[in-house]
Amino acid sequence: MSKRILIVDDREENRKRIERKLSIIENDYETTFSTDGLDAIKKLNEFEKNPFGLILTDIQMDKLDGFGLLSEIKKSDKWYSDLPVIAVSDNPDYETRWYREGGINFMKRPLSTQVLLAILDRFYNQKLINRI
Protein backbone atom coordinates (compact mmCIF):
# COMPACT_ATOMS: atom_id res chain seq x y z
CA MET A 1 0.00 0.00 0.00
CA SER A 2 1.24 3.46 -0.89
CA LYS A 3 2.45 5.65 1.95
CA ARG A 4 1.21 8.73 0.16
CA ILE A 5 -1.43 10.64 2.10
CA LEU A 6 -3.74 13.25 0.62
CA ILE A 7 -4.65 15.84 3.25
CA VAL A 8 -7.77 17.82 2.34
CA ASP A 9 -8.53 20.91 4.42
CA ASP A 10 -9.30 24.51 3.57
CA ARG A 11 -7.39 25.81 6.58
CA GLU A 12 -3.63 25.89 6.15
CA GLU A 13 -2.98 25.66 9.89
CA ASN A 14 -4.87 22.34 10.02
CA ARG A 15 -2.90 20.92 7.09
CA LYS A 16 0.40 22.00 8.65
CA ARG A 17 -0.59 20.57 12.05
CA ILE A 18 -1.16 17.12 10.53
CA GLU A 19 2.08 17.35 8.59
CA ARG A 20 3.99 18.24 11.79
CA LYS A 21 2.47 15.25 13.59
CA LEU A 22 3.53 12.97 10.76
CA SER A 23 7.04 14.41 10.76
CA ILE A 24 7.78 13.19 14.30
CA ILE A 25 8.04 9.61 13.09
CA GLU A 26 10.91 8.39 11.01
CA ASN A 27 9.02 7.03 8.09
CA ASP A 28 8.64 7.71 4.43
CA TYR A 29 5.16 9.20 4.34
CA GLU A 30 4.64 11.63 1.53
CA THR A 31 1.89 14.20 1.95
CA THR A 32 0.04 16.17 -0.68
CA PHE A 33 -2.40 18.94 0.17
CA SER A 34 -5.76 19.98 -1.26
CA THR A 35 -7.86 22.93 -0.14
CA ASP A 36 -11.27 21.41 -0.94
CA GLY A 37 -12.95 18.32 -2.34
CA LEU A 38 -12.84 19.48 -5.97
CA ASP A 39 -9.09 20.01 -5.78
CA ALA A 40 -8.75 16.60 -4.10
CA ILE A 41 -10.57 14.84 -6.98
CA LYS A 42 -8.28 16.66 -9.42
CA LYS A 43 -5.20 15.46 -7.52
CA LEU A 44 -6.52 11.90 -7.31
CA ASN A 45 -6.79 11.90 -11.10
CA GLU A 46 -3.37 13.52 -11.58
CA PHE A 47 -1.58 10.99 -9.37
CA GLU A 48 -3.03 7.80 -10.84
CA LYS A 49 0.43 6.42 -11.66
CA ASN A 50 1.70 7.18 -8.15
CA PRO A 51 -1.48 6.71 -6.11
CA PHE A 52 -2.36 7.76 -2.61
CA GLY A 53 -2.90 5.13 0.06
CA LEU A 54 -5.13 7.20 2.31
CA ILE A 55 -7.11 10.46 2.46
CA LEU A 56 -7.51 12.61 5.57
CA THR A 57 -10.24 15.17 4.96
CA ASP A 58 -11.95 17.98 6.78
CA ILE A 59 -15.76 18.01 6.54
CA GLN A 60 -16.61 21.71 6.30
CA MET A 61 -15.06 23.20 3.16
CA ASP A 62 -16.16 25.43 0.31
CA LYS A 63 -16.78 24.10 -3.21
CA LEU A 64 -17.01 20.41 -2.27
CA ASP A 65 -17.11 19.43 1.40
CA GLY A 66 -15.91 16.18 2.97
CA PHE A 67 -19.25 14.42 2.49
CA GLY A 68 -19.30 15.42 -1.17
CA LEU A 69 -15.72 14.22 -1.60
CA LEU A 70 -16.55 10.88 0.02
CA SER A 71 -19.58 10.49 -2.25
CA GLU A 72 -17.57 11.28 -5.40
CA ILE A 73 -14.91 8.77 -4.42
CA LYS A 74 -17.40 6.00 -3.57
CA LYS A 75 -19.39 6.34 -6.81
CA SER A 76 -16.29 6.56 -9.00
CA ASP A 77 -15.17 3.76 -11.27
CA LYS A 78 -11.55 4.92 -11.01
CA TRP A 79 -8.63 3.49 -9.03
CA TYR A 80 -9.51 5.51 -5.94
CA SER A 81 -13.07 4.22 -5.44
CA ASP A 82 -11.92 1.93 -2.59
CA LEU A 83 -9.42 4.35 -1.06
CA PRO A 84 -9.77 4.73 2.73
CA VAL A 85 -11.19 8.18 3.52
CA ILE A 86 -10.87 9.43 7.09
CA ALA A 87 -12.62 12.52 8.39
CA VAL A 88 -10.92 15.00 10.71
CA SER A 89 -13.41 17.44 12.23
CA ASP A 90 -14.05 19.51 15.32
CA ASN A 91 -17.79 18.85 14.98
CA PRO A 92 -18.67 15.47 16.55
CA ASP A 93 -22.23 15.76 15.20
CA TYR A 94 -20.90 14.66 11.80
CA GLU A 95 -19.54 11.33 13.02
CA THR A 96 -22.66 9.16 12.63
CA ARG A 97 -23.40 10.54 9.18
CA TRP A 98 -19.77 10.00 8.14
CA TYR A 99 -19.90 6.30 8.96
CA ARG A 100 -23.37 5.92 7.47
CA GLU A 101 -22.14 7.37 4.17
CA GLY A 102 -19.17 5.01 3.98
CA GLY A 103 -16.35 6.84 5.75
CA ILE A 104 -13.75 4.50 7.17
CA ASN A 105 -12.83 6.45 10.30
CA PHE A 106 -13.58 9.73 12.07
CA MET A 107 -11.06 11.68 14.13
CA LYS A 108 -12.05 14.58 16.34
CA ARG A 109 -10.04 17.77 16.67
CA PRO A 110 -7.93 18.63 18.42
CA LEU A 111 -6.15 15.71 16.85
CA SER A 112 -3.65 13.97 19.08
CA THR A 113 -0.48 12.49 17.66
CA GLN A 114 -1.27 9.16 19.33
CA VAL A 115 -4.70 8.95 17.66
CA LEU A 116 -3.26 9.84 14.25
CA LEU A 117 -0.51 7.23 14.57
CA ALA A 118 -2.98 4.60 15.78
CA ILE A 119 -5.07 5.21 12.65
CA LEU A 120 -2.00 4.96 10.43
CA ASP A 121 -1.02 1.76 12.26
CA ARG A 122 -4.40 0.35 11.39
CA PHE A 123 -4.04 1.08 7.68
CA TYR A 124 -0.32 0.64 7.20
CA ASN A 125 0.42 -1.93 9.92
CA GLN A 126 3.59 -0.08 10.87
CA LYS A 127 3.47 -0.17 14.68
CA LEU A 128 4.18 3.57 14.73
CA ILE A 129 2.56 4.24 18.06
CA ASN A 130 5.61 2.84 19.87
CA ARG A 131 7.95 5.33 18.18
CA ILE A 132 6.77 8.47 19.96
In this predicted structure, what is the pLDDT of residue 21? 86
Supply the range of the domain harboring residue 73: 4-131
Q: Please count the structural domains in the chain.
A: 1
pLDDT in tens, 120-131: 878 877 544 444
Whether omega for the bond prior to residue 110 falls within 30 degrees of 0, making it cis, is: yes
Return the CATH number at 34: 3.40.50.2300
Tens of pLDDT along 93-122? 999 999 999 999 999 998 888 888 888 878
Residues of the chain predicted below pLDDT 50: 127-132
Position 132 scores a pLDDT of 41
